[in-house]
Every structure is written in structure tokens, then in C-alpha cells.
Amino acid sequence: MEKIIRFGVSMDSKLLNMFDRHIHKKGYTNRSEAIRDIIRDHLVSQEWMNADSETIGTITLVYDHEKGDISERLIESQHHYCDNIISSIHVHLDKHNCLEVLVVRGKANKIQEISDHLISNRGVKHGKLTMTTTGKKLV
């Protein structure tokens, strides 16, 4: 069962004003929610520094599908890591360029390994690993 705690934070009025203006611009309607988001983001980074905890990452790849056998090589690599790759989405950006996003679950260092392996493929123009979370431990 969830238990919500309310605690007090003291802050200089000038600093609080600046913060309120900042989160208003970002679209927050609620100060607590903005503070919770900032805190969760810090904790997710920590989760990723602990190589042993299971987590989730997304790997974004942009490549030219006409460059050699890049499509086959990416598919082959993905099958090799099929235990970790949950799902993927493919977008045809234009006649040449493809974007693929893979959702990967596993230990932080395993996800890093998969990301390195895919991004280092000749033909991948741009690749990025985004570290997110299973959400389990975050409330």
C-alpha cells in the first residue's frame, strides 16, 4: 500500500520565485511534481551506476539501409541479443534513412554492451543509448 508523506522545505523567496518561473515554463502545474521528477531523475542515474541492478534502456539508431548489408547485420545482432531486446520500432525517415528504436532490458553493463555492439556497426550514422528504468522501485 502506498503511503504519501508531506514534509516541509525551506527556501529563500527569491530562489523559489526563480524555480517557480522555470517549472511553469516547462509546463508543470504543481511544485511537488516538479521536485519529484528531479529526484527520480537523480535516482535513475544512480541505478545505472550499479552494474548489477536490472534496468531498461532504449537504443536509437539512424542508418542508411542501402549501405552494404547494414540491415542484415543489425537484424543478426538483434537476434543474438533477443533475450534482452523486448521490442523495437522502425521509421522510414526518407528514401535512404531509417530510424530504429530498441527497448532493451537487462543489467546496466549488458545493455551498454549491446548498445556498443550495435552503434559500432559500419553504416550506423548516429546511435544513442538512453538510460531509463523499469519503474519498479520508483514511485
41 binds a second copy (CB under 8 A): yes
Shortest Å distance, C-beta 109 to a second copy: 11
73 binds a second copy (CB under 8 A): no
69 binds a second copy (CB under 8 A): no
Dist. CA 115–CA 100, nearest whole Å: 12
Shortest Å distance, C-beta 75 to a second copy: 17
C-alpha cell at 117: 555492439
10 binds a second copy (CB under 8 A): yes
133 binds a second copy (CB under 8 A): yes
**Considering only residues 81-100, where is the footprint of a second copy by CB under 8 A?**
86-89, 91, 93-94, 96-97, 99
Shortest Å distance, C-beta 33 to a second copy: 5
Dist. CA 49–CA 131, nearest whole Å: 11
31 binds a second copy (CB under 8 A): yes
Contact 110, 53 (CB under 8 A): no
Residue closest to 59 by CA, chosen among 116, 108, 123, 109: 116
Crossing angle, helix 31-49 and helix 108-119, to 10 degrees? Answer: 80
C-alpha cell at 25: 515554463
Contact 92, 132 (CB under 8 A): no
132 binds a second copy (CB under 8 A): yes
43 binds a second copy (CB under 8 A): yes
55 binds a second copy (CB under 8 A): no
80 binds a second copy (CB under 8 A): no
